[in-house]
């Protein structure tokens, strides 16, 4: 039976492509990719002339069945996304679950991942971290999600697009408080790479004043809740819980 390989590709700097990635992409029977035109450019650069077919959030379930049949017939398939590691805020997770449930072998070919690259160079606690990926686009849903993360003691890691970075940092300030230490990791591995550290308030101002340009791709990292923040977080719900239980018992 065949194998499906989850192949990481560069997040900006083509020199980050690994030797294994190139070898696997050359030898599999076909390559599933998020966007065939985008993939073609990358593959051409490395002289990989394999067949490609699309796999994105709208056809992932259907493709899982097709790929399963091809693996059963002995073919091997590679999956790549537009950038970085597939299935990390990218298509692939559903495919992996479906194929594993069918008993197929799934093998990772590791490489670049923006979250891990940013975390390694941010200077925040990297022993424990919470990968959140993209927050909701609408501000109410975004702030509700941040409320849920408010007491989380691990470093928080977010992905964000340039047109939403300002609004997201504003939400972070208003829900988590402007005093938390944070890092804006921008355009990692590219020519204009920058990693700016400061409090959330300072970084909000830096974006507003254009000192950190709202262009390119961002990883936003925020220090986890301090001990007093987590304590405060825990006592409130427990009090409320007891009150609610007492109220329930008092009811006829």
- Residues of this chain that bind ligand SAM (CB under 6 A): 11-12, 81, 83-85, 88-90, 113-115, 159-161, 185, 187-190, 217-219
Three-state DSSP at 46 gives coil
Buried b (16+ CB within 10 A) or exposed e, 111-146: bbbbbbbbbeebebeeeebebbeebeeeeeebbeeb
Nearer to ligand SAM, 2 or 142 (CB): 142
101, burial (CB in 10 Å: exposed 0-12, middle 13-18, buried 19+): exposed
Name the one residue in this structure whose structure tokens are 């039976």: 1
Chain position whose Cβ is nearest to ligand SAM: 84
Length of the chain: 252
Nearer to ligand SAM, 48 or 115 (CB): 115
Nearer to ligand SAM, 2 or 52 (CB): 52
- Strands laid side by side in the 218-222 sheet: 129-134, 155-160, 218-222, 181-186, 194-199
Query: What are the phi and psi torsion angles at 10 (to 5°)?
Result: -60, 155
Nearest to 80 by CA among 135, 162, 20, 134: 20
Residue 43 beta carbon to ligand SAM: minimum distance, rounded to whole angstroms: 17
CB 32 within 8 A of CB 64: no
Nearer to ligand SAM, 89 or 102 (CB): 89
Residue 246 beta carbon to ligand SAM: minimum distance, rounded to whole angstroms: 46
Nearer to ligand SAM, 24 or 116 (CB): 116
Residue 15 beta carbon to ligand SAM: minimum distance, rounded to whole angstroms: 13
Residue 135 beta carbon to ligand SAM: minimum distance, rounded to whole angstroms: 11
Residue 33 beta carbon to ligand SAM: minimum distance, rounded to whole angstroms: 13
């Amino acid at each position: 039976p065949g194998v499906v390989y989850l192949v990481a590709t560069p997040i900006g700097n083509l020199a980050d492509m690994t030797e294994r990635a190139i070898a696997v992409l050359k030898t599999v029977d076909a390559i599933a990719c998020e966007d065939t035109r985008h993939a073609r450019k990358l593959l051409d650069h490395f002289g990989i002339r394999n067949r490609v077919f699309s796999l994105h959030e709208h056809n992932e379930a259907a493709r899982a069945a097709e790929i399963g049949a091809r693996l059963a017939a002995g073919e091997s398939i590679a999956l790549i996304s537009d950038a970085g590691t597939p299935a990390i805020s990218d298509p692939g997770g559903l495919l992996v679950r479906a194929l594993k449930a069918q008993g197929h072998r799934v093998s990772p070919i590791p490489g670049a991942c923006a979250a891990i690259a940013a975390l390694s160079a941010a200077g925040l606690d990297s022993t424990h971290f919470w990968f959140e990926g993209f927050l909701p686009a609408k501000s109410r849903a975004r702030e509700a999600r941040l409320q849920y993360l408010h007491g989380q003691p691990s470093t928080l890691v977010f992905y964000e697009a340039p047109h939403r970075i300002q609004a997201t940092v504003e939400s972070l300030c208003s829900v988590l408080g402007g005093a938390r230490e944070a890092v804006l990791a921008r355009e990692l591995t590219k020519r204009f790479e920058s990693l700016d550290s400061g409090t959330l308030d300072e970084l909000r101002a830096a974006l507003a004043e254009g000192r950190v340009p709202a262009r390119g791709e961002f990883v936003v990292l925020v220090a986890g809740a301090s001990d007093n923040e987590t304590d405060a977080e825990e006592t409130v719900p427990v009090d409320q819980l007891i009150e609610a239980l007492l109220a329930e018992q008092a009811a006829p």
